Amino acid sequence: MGLRPQNAAIQQNGNLQRQELMQTPVKSLFLVLNPSSRSFAGQKKWPRIFELLDQSGIHYEHALTEKAGDGTILAEAAAKQGFDAVIAVGGDGTINEVISGVVPVLEQNPDSACRFGVIYTGTSPDFCSFHGLSLNPDVIVNRILAGHTRHVDLCRIVHRCEDSEQMVSRYFSCSANFGMGAA
């Protein structure tokens, strides 16, 4: 599922509904792979993901994260390079980093066609559960390739770094923790 971060939830009969927006096939993907997701077990899904992408003939590139923050740097670079979609392949931490890399590029260039997507390989799928996304790589890769897109609500927190006067923005979609998350 490619996601275009914007506020597009709609009210219908008093209930909040998610809105499926468009189906425009993508021509290029950049995958941000987190090899340590699910204690390194997430890598077991990679061969199937690559097989599906290879069979489709789509142009794709990928890079691996090595430490915290790499997902943001890789996603930002891919969005600036003009990939149709930047895909987080990992858990909720990888998703958060990729969102934090793609969104500033979209804010600077509102006409960008870049989308954000998720192929979940993590432990506790909060983002996917919240947004009703499949955890099956076959299903989600096919939806990404078909260009299925929906808007998601995002929030931004602006805070001052502890060790400097610099203000930093962080983005989130379904939850944010300060200090210690709920048990």
Tell me the per-residue pLDDT of 141-159, one tens digit each, with 9 for 90 and over: 999 999 888 888 888 888 8
Task: Report residue 175 CA to chain centroid gap.
Answer: 14
Question: Is residue 81 scored above 70 in pLDDT?
Answer: yes
> Is the whole model's pTM more than 0.85, yes or no?
no
| Local structure of residue 41 (DSSP, 8 states) | G
Using CA atoms, how far apart are residues 60 and 108, in angstroms rounded to an integer?
A: 24
Q: What pLDDT, on the 0 to 100 scale, is given for residue 179?
A: 65
Does 83 reside within a domain?
Answer: yes
Domain of 36: which CATH number? Answer: 3.40.50.10330
Q: When comparing pLDDT for 4 and 97, which is higher? A: 97
Name the helix (H) or strand (E) containing 15: strand 15-17
Containing structural domain, residue 127: 2-154
CB 19 within 8 A of CB 151: yes
The letter for the amino acid at 54 is D
Q: Is the pLDDT of residue 6 over 50?
A: no
d(C-alpha 24, C-alpha 30), whole Å: 17
Is 162 inside any structural domain? Answer: no
Q: Is 22 a domain residue?
A: yes
164 domain-assigned:
no
* 182 is a domain residue: no
Rounded-to-integer distance, Cα 36 and Cα 42, Å? 7
Strands (E), 24-127: 28-33, 59-64, 85-90, 115-120
Query: Which is it for strands 15-17 and 167-172: parallel, antiparallel or unpaired?
Result: unpaired
- In the predicted model, is pLDDT for residue 11 greater than 60? no
pLDDT for 3 equals 45
Question: Judging by DSSP bridges, how do beta strands 85-90 and 28-33 pair with one another?
Answer: parallel
- Number of domains observed in the structure of the chain: 1
Give the residue-averaged pLDDT of 41-60. 93
50 falls within a domain: yes
Q: 13 lies in a domain?
A: yes
Measured distance CA(39)–CA(142) in Å, rounded: 26
Please check whether residue 159 lies inside any domain of the structure.
Answer: no
| Residue 71 DSSP label | H
Range with the largest mean pLDDT of 11-20, 80-89, 102-111, 119-128: 80-89
If one counts every other C-beta atom within 10 angstroms of the C-beta of residue 36, the result is 18
